[in-house]
Amino acid sequence: MKTRTKPLARMWEWQAEAACRGMDSSVFFSPAGERGRARRHREEAARAICDSCPVSGPCGRFALTSQQFYGVWGGYTEAERRSAVRVHPR
């Protein structure tokens, strides 16, 4: 019996519509040592972009399923994703 798999490119098609496409990644990923107010402000700026993004859902799901440990993905921070994984392990 032959198994059918999705072409790999299909898994990434959502990225073509991402509001962040082509942006500087420093908005979404913290520099070394960033904490407190600076981190919150950067994360808020990233979330604002994600809020208007037509593919924030697929982006957030990708980050959870592929266990992305860093950055803001789909409007979710690193801490929020870690918390979601602890509450709903695979």
Query: Does the annotation list 59 as a binding residue?
Result: yes
pTM of the prediction?
0.81
Q: pLDDT of 35-79, one tens digit each? A: 999 999 999 999 999 999 999 999 999 999 889 999 999 999 999
69 is in an annotated binding site: no
50 is in an annotated binding site: yes
- Does the annotation list 53 as a binding residue? yes
The DSSP annotation for 26-37 comes to GGTSPPTT--HH
